[in-house]
Amino acid sequence: MSFDTCPRIDDAGSYVLRAMPEGEWEGYLAHIAGCQVCADKVAELGFVADGLLNAVPQLTAPPEIRDRVMAVVRAESELLLAAGPMADRPIERQSARRFTLQRLRPWPASVLASALLALGVGGGALLVGGDESASPTRTIACSDAPAGARCSMRVTGDSTRLVVASLPAPPEGRIYQVWLDRANGVAPEPTEALFSVREGRASVAVPGDLRGVKRVLVTDEPQGGSEVPTRQPVIVARMA
Amino acid sequence: MRKNADPGPTELRDLADEDLMQLVRRGEAAAFEVVYERHTSAAFSLAYRMCGARAAAEDVVQEAFLSLWRSGARYDRARGSVRTWVLGIVHNRAIDSLRRSVVHDRRRASDEGIEERFEARERTEVEVARLDEAAEIRQALQTLPAEQSRVIELAYFGGFTQTEIASMLDTPIGTVKGRMRLGLEKMRAQLGGLREVTS
């Protein structure tokens, strides 16, 4: 667009404040790609929005968060380093997406973080192959998975991992979530295992007590996960 | 890249965030710990401001940093500082948390009156500079007409959508969007040559 203004210019404020409903946000993102006026406005206002992130009363974080976070990080670091240099290779970026991101800086670095994060949630343990301990590994093939996808559960001692390959990425704005189904007449239990795939692959630790679990399920859910499944499972692994 | 270097804890603390992220993407937990230490209080402060409850803020910060750890390879210094990236993740997580909350209990942090218990003690020059910058931004926000600052705060710190804000304020949605843009434009003009403080 070559005009000095745009009828959608007011949307720029709502966009950088992340006040747009999801569908509208995506529509405006597409609009910006072809409207220099709005792209410039988003960049200008995004600077303020980023500044607002820091403009809150500063508190000291409780130390127990650090303990919890670093316990997970150290455990995953050991696995990642043991997997060798290929384990953390960067994803090949799609050129069209990259173009959009660069045009919209600085705000999209924040706005799109959740979408980018979705790609990385499984990344910590991605490509970690082989046994994770000296215990024998039992492999359970998934009974249901999307056509062309490969999926198995690998049980080593008390540790269980869901390993997938050739699995399509979850729909835009969604993320895969692992569920434990005890087939006891109540809804499956949610887990904190949220993941996407890197080049179709992921290796995800299945948390929680798996005793009595009949099936491990995977559904695609909104970012952050859900308390109850909102979609039919895309993966089913029968544990017993 | 520091392919063969294995910096110790002291050396790590001397590295800039962007250099630490090179190590984080290789899976080095010690480098991540330094990033965590530098930004966790800001992250917690933002999460607490938005969620209005300590437990929820802790969850948001924990999720955000684990996501950051697992997505370190996605950080691109060309698109902004590590701090902005971290806080952007926290902001997104907090909004997701608020919007999926069944109770929609969106009390603000000031409602609980526990800030003093966790009040941070800033120590470094960088932190002092950031405090100055934050004060300048808050000042810019406070000098806006009330109707403009209100929609900005409701959206950015309250996690409300423009539709929800329009309904709450009984105001046409176009007016809400216009107030957001005008308010941010005024703030941008006030902030003038402000530049982001980096580590």
Q: Which of A15, A47, A13 is nearest to A30 (CA)?
A: A15
**Six token digits for residue A35:** 């409207």
Are B70 and B133 found together in one domain? no
Are B4 and B81 found together in one domain? yes
Among left, alpha and beta (phi > 0; psi -120 to 50; other), residue A177 is beta
Provide the shortest C-alpha distance from residue B133 to chain A (in Å). 8
Are B19 and B89 found together in one domain? yes
pLDDT in tens, B10-24: 788 888 888 898 888
Residues of chain A with pLDDT under 50: 1-3, 86-134
Q: With an 8 Å Cβ cutoff, are A10 and B40 in contact?
A: no
Provide the shortest C-alpha distance from residue A151 to chain B (in Å). 22
pLDDT at A109: 33
Provide the shortest C-alpha distance from residue B96 to chain A (in Å). 7
pLDDT in tens, B128-138: 677 777 788 88
Do you know the residue count of chain B? 199
Do you know the residue count of chain A? 240
In the three-class reduction of DSSP (H, G, I as helix; E, B as strand; rest coil), residue A154 is classed as: strand
Share of chain B above pLDDT 90, in %: 39
Q: Are B183 and B151 in contact (CB under 8 A)?
A: yes
Question: Residue B107: which pLDDT band, with cuts at 50, 70 and 90?
Answer: very low
pLDDT at A233: 86
Q: Which of A38-42, A149-153, B1-5, B95-99 has the lowest mean pLDDT?
A: B1-5
The pTM of the whole model exceeds 0.80: no
pLDDT at A102: 33
Q: Which of B121, B66, B63 is nearest to A123 (CA)?
A: B66
Pairing of strands A235-238, A215-222: antiparallel
Neighbouring CB atoms inside 10 A of B100's CB total 15
pLDDT at A38: 92
Choose the closest CB to B174 out of A10, A54, A64: A10
- List the CATH number of the domain containing B32: 1.10.1740.10
Are B75 and B135 found together in one domain? no
Are B65 and B92 found together in one domain? yes
Are B114 and B127 found together in one domain? no
Distance of alpha carbon B7 from alpha carbon A147, whole angstroms: 46
pLDDT at B79: 66
pLDDT at B179: 97
Distance of alpha carbon B131 from alpha carbon B187, whole angstroms: 17
Provide the shortest C-alpha distance from residue B176 to chain A (in Å). 9
Q: Which of A86-95, A101-110, B85-94, B150-159 has the lowest mean pLDDT?
A: A101-110
pLDDT at B7: 67
Given a cut of 80, is residue B97 above it in pLDDT?
A: yes
Longest CA pairwise span in chain B (Å): 61
pLDDT at A70: 92
Are B43 and B72 found together in one domain? yes
Domain that holds residue B182: 123-199
Q: Which of these three, B120, B155, B190, is where a domain ends? A: B120
Mutate to test the interface with B, among A6, A45, A48, A107 (most CBs of B within 10 A): A48
Number of domains in chain B: 2
pLDDT at A204: 86
Q: With an 8 Å Cβ cutoff, are B74 and A120 in contact?
A: yes
Residues 6+ apart with CB under 8 A from A127: A83, A86, A87, A198, A201, A203
- List the CATH number of the domain containing B162: 1.10.10.10
Which residues are bridge partners to A154 per DSSP? A139, A161
Question: Residue B145: which pLDDT band, with cuts at 50, 70 and 90?
Answer: very high
Are B116 and B179 found together in one domain? no
Residues 6+ apart with CB under 8 A from A43: A104, A105, A106, A107
Q: Are B191 and A48 in contact (CB under 8 A)?
A: yes
Are B33 and B100 found together in one domain? yes
Which whole number is the average pLDDT over B75-99? 83
Q: Are A123 and B70 in contact (CB under 8 A)?
A: yes
* The one-letter amino acid at B44: F
Q: Which of these three, B62, B93, B120, is where a domain ends? A: B120
* The one-letter amino acid at A226: S
Measured between beta carbons, the chain A residues lying within 8 angstroms of B25 are: 88, 90
Burial of B78 (0-12, 13-18, 19+ CB in 10 A): exposed
Q: Is 0.90 exceeded by the ipTM?
A: no
Are B52 and B133 found together in one domain? no
Are B104 and B7 found together in one domain? yes
Q: Which of these three, B91, B120, B149, is where a domain ends? A: B120
Q: Are A218 and A204 in contact (CB under 8 A)?
A: no
Which residues are bridge partners to A177 per DSSP? A194, A219
Distance of alpha carbon A174 from alpha carbon A158, whole angstroms: 29
Tell me the angle at which helices B173-191 and A36-54 cross, rounded to the nearest 10 degrees. Answer: 70
Burial of A226 (0-12, 13-18, 19+ CB in 10 A): middle
pLDDT at A210: 84
Distance of CA B47 to the CA centre of its chain: 7
Q: With an 8 Å Cβ cutoff, are A69 and B76 in contact?
A: no
Distance of alpha carbon B170 from alpha carbon A25, whole angstroms: 22
Q: With an 8 Å Cβ cutoff, are B45 and A58 in contact?
A: yes
pLDDT in tens, B63-80: 899 988 877 656 777 667
Which whole number is the average pLDDT over B30-46? 93
Are B17 and B2 found together in one domain? yes
DSSP A10: T
Distance of alpha carbon B87 from alpha carbon B96, whole angstroms: 14
* The one-letter amino acid at A94: Q
Q: Are B70 and A79 in contact (CB under 8 A)?
A: no
Among left, alpha and beta (phi > 0; psi -120 to 50; other), residue A222 is beta
